[in-house]
Amino acid sequence: MTLRLYNTLTRTKEEFTPLDPSNVRMYVCGPTVYDFAHIGNARPVIVFDVLFRLLRQLYGKEHVTYVRNITDVDDKINARAREEGVSIREVTERTTRQFHADISALGVLPPTVEPRATEHIAEMVTIIERLIASGHAYAADGHVLFDVPSMKDYGQLSRRSLDEMLAGARVDVAPYKRGEMDFVLWKPSDDNTPGWESPWGRGRPGWHIECSAMSWKHLGEVFDIHGGGIDLVFPHHENEIAQTRCAFGHGVMANVWMHNGFLQVEGQKMSKSLGNFFTINELLADWPGDVLRFNMLRTHYRQPIDWTLKSLEESWRILEGFFATAGSAGAEQGTIGDSVLEALKDDLNTPKAIAELHALDKPGHQKELGETLKALGFTGNLASPKAAAGVDAAAVNALITARLEARNAKNWAESDRIRDALAAMGIAIKDNKNGTTSWEVKR
């Protein structure tokens, strides 16, 4: 089967044909770096990492360019720096480092290019100048706005009515705006806000123009795949499309638009006020990265995912089973086996792919199972991070000695009690033939 992907633009699953098979090009909107990334943010990162791995296998490693940006200019970042009394750079550098550490623990490959918005201001200014010159944007009061009515087919991606768009965009009413839907390309900065010199005075870019500039710079005027979470369809992606198409005069910005569904926790919207908000970093203190990654892929990317403790526990057990069969050895860089590959080629059907992994979990298929797991980004490191970090080895050894003494005295009740106490600490013990006992941290 050829690769088929669901395209939000056409609302259908389509056969994927790259513009240039020797350079398949994908852009995914990256994080705004002002705080720890939460587990919902991890979803697009993991989903599009799987797509990146799939494309690399189908077209060759050297023939895929994956761009995932860092949004390092944003008013939320400015506010955070002000709150903490530190520089903006300190906030963005620290948060970017944290993001990299977190997602690398989730088995995510670095993208081919990871552009930062602050390094692409010149490209943003160029696009804005082109939009003004072609009558799609206007400067007013230090701002530059995109003139939405100037684009006849604005709204193709989200297919919303004007009323819905107005509600969804939460548009500001501002005296310098000609139309209600017009959105900001550039805005003025005061002395306490980061800004760059521009033809419209000292200012900073709006959010949407950042992605138009970075995708243009690294992937060209038209490219193959653009991805992100479903919440970005409107207004962010709709506005990226408007900017890029009107600046360069093509019928599309990207041929395929892909969006992951939202993640909720134990059936509820994740929110700080409900106390069910989890950063990737917090979860990594309790769960191996492999388990978080696997749990994310058990639900098809377009469906909403319910993130539950029960499902995480199951994911851990399933992976332990797979790696017990496959062993942790194997090729440095595996290849995705045929049956799993076929599942992924069907719009990244990861639940089906996991069913195929189960089918490989039997004698005679260890090698294929191991290689496929590796190719999908799993390391096989399933030790409990918390237990490993918190274990007092001396205390464990003392308990094991006490248990051996109890056994020698045939005090089975006491020896069982100690074994249970160790299990409660997350320690699994193994009695060896030579009369010694070894132990390992389970979870």
Residue from 25, 43, 136, 443 in contact with ligand AMP (CB under 6 A): 43
Least Å distance between CB 95 and Zn ion? 17
Query: Are the C-beta atoms of 30 and 210 separated by less than 8 Å?
Result: no
215 interacts with ligand AMP by CB under 6 A: no
157 interacts with ligand AMP by CB under 6 A: no
Binding site for Zn ion (CB under 5 A): 29, 211
Nearer CB in complex with ligand AMP: 79/395:
79
263 interacts with ligand AMP by CB under 6 A: yes
Count of Cβ atoms closer than 10 Å to residue 92 Cβ: 24
Least Å distance between CB 231 and ligand AMP? 5
Binding partner at 262 among Zn ion, ligand AMP, none, C-beta below 5 to 8 Å by kind: ligand AMP
228 interacts with ligand AMP by CB under 6 A: yes
Query: Are the C-beta atoms of 18 and 225 separated by less than 8 Å?
Result: no
Query: Are the C-beta atoms of 226 and 257 separated by less than 8 Å?
Result: yes
Name the closest residue to ligand AMP (Cβ): 229
Q: How far apart (Å, rounded) are the C-alpha atoms in residues 318 and 388?
A: 20
Q: Please spell the DSSP secondary structure of 350-377, one letter per residue.
A: HHHHHHHHHHH-STT-HHHHHHHHHHTT
Please choose, out of 37-45, 52-60, 105-113, 360-368, the segment that lies near ligand AMP by the rule CB under 6 A.
Answer: 37-45
Nearer CB in complex with Zn ion: 34/378:
34
Count of Cβ atoms closer than 10 Å to residue 367 Cβ: 16
231 interacts with ligand AMP by CB under 6 A: yes
**Angle ∠(415,419,422) on CA atoms, nearest 5:** 140
Identify the CA nearest to 204 among candidates 78, 302, 102.
78
31 interacts with ligand AMP by CB under 6 A: yes
111 interacts with ligand AMP by CB under 6 A: no
CB-count exposure of residue 436 (10 Å: 0-12, 13-18, 19+): exposed
47 interacts with ligand AMP by CB under 6 A: no
Nearer CB in complex with ligand AMP: 298/417:
298
Q: 369 to each of 48, 335, 357, how far by Cα in Å?
A: 22, 10, 7
Q: Can you give the binding site for ligand AMP, defined by CB under 6 A?
A: 29, 31-32, 40-41, 43-44, 228-229, 231-232, 260, 262-263, 270
